[in-house]
Structure 1
Amino acid sequence: MTSAAIRHEAGPPDIAAIAEQAIARIAQRNPALNAVIRHDPDAVRAEAVRLQRAHAAGRPMPLYGQAFTVKDNLWVAGETISQGSRLFRDFTAPEDAWAVARLRQAGALYLGITNCSEFACKGVTVNLLHGMTRHPQDADLTPGGSSGGAAAALAAGIGDLALATDAGGSARRPAAHCGLVGFKPSAGRIPLGPGFAEPVFGNGVIAPMARDMAALRQAFVVLAAFDPRDPASCPPPPALTSGQMRIAFSPTFGLDAAMDGSVRDGIAAAVDALRAAGFSIAAATPAWPDGLGEAGFMPLQHAGLAALYGERHRREPELFDPDLSRQIEAGLALQGSDVAAVLLLREATAQALARFFGDFDLLLGPTVPCIAWPATQLGPARIGGRPAAPRDHAVFTPMFNHAGVPAISVPCGRDAAGLPFGLQIVARRFADDLLLDFAARAETIFAERGLWTGVTS
């Protein structure tokens, strides 16, 4: 039973019961997961009382009865927010991030902080400060990263929504690995900040996660707004309509990427189900620029980490995750022309997608090329029978961050062991509502055909 399902007969949600259920759920599931790293039961109960009084006073609360968690790189006033880093182990957020405040104003019940990798810059969720987060189906596996704590908690029935971030797939990939919906909106649709400096310049967005499309769309309606304090924030765009939607499917997004057979076949089956439901889907791939891929984009993250934390790393390298140390050192070795080359690649990527979306409304493909892997590894040792580099699991998501376009992962299948994966749906910039409409229709179609594999706990 989800939190919002607890209601009085013919009345509003029982927020006190929702709070107690969430507290009990965290006590039951979190010790094995290490997904929620900060949680105060008494504060949750006090927040429930405050919301109940405000609701009784007639304040509009579209999310009243929903409970949510917040990733450990987003500010929550008065909370220790660490970005999974020993550097910030004693940092207390002076105010709520805009998105956190917005959910609270809408009546959602704040539950606690979820774990993330250090500076949200790894594809698994482990750090020196809070340790490792485990997959809710199998404790030997990772839920992915960097929003693995958010995904693991939500998949384990902790809360109805998870407020996460996505700078290269950090919400979409864990959502795919855990059977959830993970949404990266267009850059600027949800205000970002106030909060920490962003290591990957211009890539990070607020990314809500949910168990189903109804909950996610409800959250996006609340979160999507203009705020002048965020220089990237934009006013709501005009509604985009499309008669016969022009949809493309690219099995690997045109990249030379290995895929597990179960994922490849499952994605193809999901696309076949959409075709059988009446959608015309063509085979097409964007004409990507040379050099597109993780290796081409990662220097920007390395440079950002070096600029933010390089001096501290020189003085106290023991404070950093060894993998983050390698990234910082790589960033310190870069030249200005190296960074400029990535910015030019980013611009060429955005232009390639803009041209593609002149011919199509939506692009379908995989979110991840593999299912979840052992939690002690940066990535799977092999994908599709081929030896895999540590970031090969992340191949299908970063280019859409660099282009600023919206992308969503929806559950569409499981492998023979029951581990989920997701279909990624991408649209042109600011076509978020069109994207969400189609994702909701896909959810219904997949459910009718037994392909919707989202969690139900």
Structure 2
Amino acid sequence: MAEFDSHTWGARAIARAVSSGRLTAVESIRRHLEIIAARNPALNALVAVDAERSLREAERVDARVAAGDVLPLAGVPLIVKDNIWAEGWPITQGSRLFSDFIAPCDAKAVALARAAGAVVIGIGACSELACKGVTNTPLHGITHHPLDRALTPGGSSGGNAAALAVGMAPIALGTDAGGSSRRPPAHCGVVGFKPGQDVVPYGPGFAEPFWGVSVIAPMGRTVDDCALLFSVLTGVQVDTPRPLRLAYNPTFGIRSAIDDDVASAIETAVDTLRSAGWALDPVDVVWPEGVSEEVLMPLQHAGLAMLYGDRWTRHPEMFDPDIGAQIKRGLALTGTDVVRALDQSYRLRSALDPLFEDFDLVIGLTTPCTAWPHDRLGPETIGGVPAAPRDHAALTPRFNHAQLPALSLPCGTARNGLPVGMQIVGQRGSDATVLAAARQAETILSHPAT
């Protein structure tokens, strides 16, 4: 077997090695299965692993390479979140309702990745129905943070993020309806990219409770991993961008407390980017009056109630109590509550248009805090003041409703040694620009000038 380190070999390097014959897809998958066997038991990041299935798939990739097929993801291990269909795999949404479900076909994104030579190597844990910011479920148990088992990697794509962080695979497919594939990467020190709405094909698969704002989200150990996967899924190439007009606001104008050392980490990162020649202009970000997480969340609660309200009413014991509480709130909503949320969501679609007349990208934090104990929905305090359960998620959902591309990039650590994420947001249609700028930022932050 060619010697390679899963922590230094990204998706592109693996694919090139397999395509050139220096490595086989079977060798790549076997090596990553060894890493999974060694590291997954302590983390519970992957809830399904089928070594025989993955190795058979790798054999087919090797046969395609031998036949001369050009495969941009040849032999690259791929993790699929537990709410995205991958044919033949148990996909449960972390729910007892789907404990026996086997996906009858691939979601289009999975099919595209497989057609490019990727091999599904495991299913990443997610919170039940992907509707909670902590990855623990009655079906699969607790997913632990890769740096501290007492902490959560966040949610709902916590399994993907934890697995990527310890080298189980270089790429993963997640979903993101409010930050689910940006906040866990921020907490775990990897990369998560939320494309613009409908840029990446969604489905076939489970009905989506938060319809109209959820997307399939490439995740990776590096920006280049995400960029390569994004290109496979969309056909859009990520090239070096033209000189960009860059704006900076650590909270994107959102009223949010921030932990001091998290604020310090992004300020240090922004200073490093400025020292490398990036012009980052401080800006005010203006949002529609009255917009808030409290006003928007009824859309998720109503969606859950529509899909699962009858079953929760008959069998509440089948559900995570936290999800049950959301369904209960959804059943109690009035039509006015839902229409108010829809109105705010619609107004957010154009909220940042004035900002993007003057700037190409705006940069701030992904989360206002680092990871917290896994037995809590959120940290007790943020910025020294008591925090509500969703305050940790304050900085991501509006970009889903605005339908904008947004990426979380590691940008340093807090005093407790835990990762902090920088969020880079672009206007509609600028997915490739966001990825290209993030790739440049990653290089600068990884090798700052001395």
Q: Normalising TM by the smaller chain, what interval?
A: over 0.9
2:231 counterpart residue number: 221
Is the contact between residue 13 and residue 64 of structure 1 (CA under 8 Å) also seen in structure 2? no
Q: Which segments of 5 or more consecutive residues in structure 2 lack a partner in the other structure?
A: none
Match of residue 80, structure 2, among 70, 90, 110: 70
- Output aligned runs, 1:412-427, within 5 Å: 412-427=411-426
CA distance in 2, matches of 1:40, 1:401: 33
Structure 1 residues 399-410: aligned runs within 5 Å? 399-410=398-409
Counterpart secondary structure, 2:420: strand
2:133 matched to 1:133? no
Q: Paired residue for 1:149?
A: 159
Structure 1 residues 148 and 241: alpha-carbon distance in aligned structure 2, compared to 1, 3 A threshold: closer
Are the aligned partners of 1:286 and 1:352 in contact in 2 as well (CA < 8 Å)?
no
TM-score normalised per structure 2: 0.94
Q: 1:142-197 CA deviation, whole Å, 9 max, x = no partner?
A: 00000000001111110110111111000100000010010000011100000011
Match of 1:443 in 2: 442
Alignment partner of 1:38 out of 40, 43, 48:
48
Mapping of residues 201-220 of structure 1, within 5 Å: 201-220=211-230
Structure 1, residues 103-159: CA drift from partner, whole Å, max 9, x if none? 111001210111100110000001111011001111111000000000011111101
Structure 1 residues 96 and 381: alpha-carbon distance in aligned structure 2, compared to 1, 3 A threshold: same
Q: Taking structure 1 as reference, are residues 277 and 395 closer, same or farther at Cα in structure 2, changes over 3 Å only?
A: same
Residue 352 of structure 1 aligns to a residue whose secondary structure is coil
Shift in Å, 1:201: 1.9
The amino acid across from 1:257 in the alignment is S
Q: CA deviation at 1:418?
A: 1.6
Structure 2 residue aligned with 1:164, among 171, 174, 186?
174
Question: C-alpha displacement at 1:417, in angstroms?
Answer: 2.5
Residues 430 and 317 (structure 1), Cα distance of their counterparts in 2 relative to 1, 3 Å cut? same
Going from structure 1 to structure 2, the CA distance change for 1:450 and 1:315 (only over 3 Å counts) comes to farther
AA of the residue aligned to 2:398: M
SS in 2 for 1:78: coil
User: Which whole-Å CA distance do the structure 1 matches of 2:76 and 2:263 have between them?
Assistant: 35
Please give the secondary structure, in 2, of the residue aligned with 1:42: helix
Q: 1:9 Cα shift? A: 12
The aligned amino acid for 2:436 is D
- The answer to whether structure 1 residue 342 and structure 2 residue 341 are counterparts is yes
Give structure 1 stretches of 5+ with no counterpart: 226-235, 452-457
Assess, with a 3 A threshold, how the Cα gap between structure 1 residues 9 and 395 changes in structure 2: closer, same or farther. closer
Alpha-carbon spacing, 1:239–1:72, altered in 2? closer, same or farther (3 Å): closer
Question: For 2:372, what is the secondary structure of its paired residue?
Answer: coil
Native 8 Å contact 1:248 1:285 kept in 2: no
Counterparts of 1:405 and 1:380 in 2: how far apart (Å)? Answer: 27
| Paired residues of 2:406 and 2:424 also in contact (CA < 8 A) | yes
Give the whole-Å Cα distance in 2 for the aligned partners of 1:256 and 1:331: 26
Off by >2 Å, runs of 4+ in structure 1 = 3-14, 238-244
TM-score by length of structure 1 reads 0.93
CA offset at residue 416 of structure 1? Answer: 2.1
Q: Is the 8 A contact 1:181 1:210 kept in 2?
A: yes
Q: Which moved more, 1:398-407 or 1:41-50?
A: 41-50
Could you tell me which amino acid in structure 1 is paired with residue 386 of structure 2?
P
Confirm whether residue 331 of structure 1 aligns to residue 330 of structure 2.
Answer: yes
Match of 2:115 in 1: 105
Q: 1:242 to 1:11 in 2, by over 3 A?
A: closer
Inter-partner Cα distance in structure 1 for 2:226 and 2:74? 14
- Tell me: CA distance 1:9–1:358, structure 2 relative to 1, closer, same or farther (3 Å): closer
Aligned AA (1:116): C
Q: Deviations along 1:321-346, whole A, 9 cap, x unmatched?
A: 11111100111111111111111111
The residue that corresponds to 1:254 in the other structure is 253
- Structure 2 residue identity aligned to 1:336: G
Using the alignment, how far apart are the partners of 1:294 and 1:374 within structure 2?
A: 22
Contact 2:251 2:364 in 1 (8 A): yes
C-alpha distance 203-57 of structure 1, shift in aligned 2 (>3 A): same
Letter in 1 for 2:202: L
Q: Which amino acid aligns with 2:252?
A: F
The change in CA–CA distance for 1:251 and 1:196 in structure 2 (over 3 A counts) is same
Per-residue deviation, 1:239 = 9.9
What is the number of equivalent residue pairs in this alignment? 440
* CA shift digits 1:430-451 (9 cap, x unpaired): 1011111111110111112289
Contact 2:256 2:394 in 1 (8 A): yes
C-alpha displacement of 1:10: 6.4
Q: Name the amino acid aligned to 1:399.
A: R
Contact 2:35 2:168 in 1 (8 A): yes
| 2:69 maps to 1:52 | no
Taking the aligned partners of 1:180 and 1:450, their CA distance within structure 2 comes to: 22
Superposition pairs for residues 166-181 of structure 1, below 5 Å? 166-181=176-191
Rounded Cα–Cα distance in structure 2 between residues aligned with 1:293 and 1:247: 25
Give aligned-pair identity as a percent. 52
- Give the CA deviation at 1:36: 0.7
**Deviation of the 1:360 alpha carbon:** 1.2
Is residue 2:309 matched to residue 1:306?
no
Specify the code of the residue in structure 2 equivalent to 1:438. Answer: A
CA distance 1:208–1:241, change in 2 (3 Å)? closer
* 1-structure distance, mates of 2:90, 2:254: 41
In the alignment, what sits opposite 1:231?
none
Whether 2:427 is the aligned partner of 1:428: answer: yes
Instruction: Report the Cα distance in structure 2 between the residues aligned to 1:426 and 1:402, rounded to whole angstroms.
Output: 13
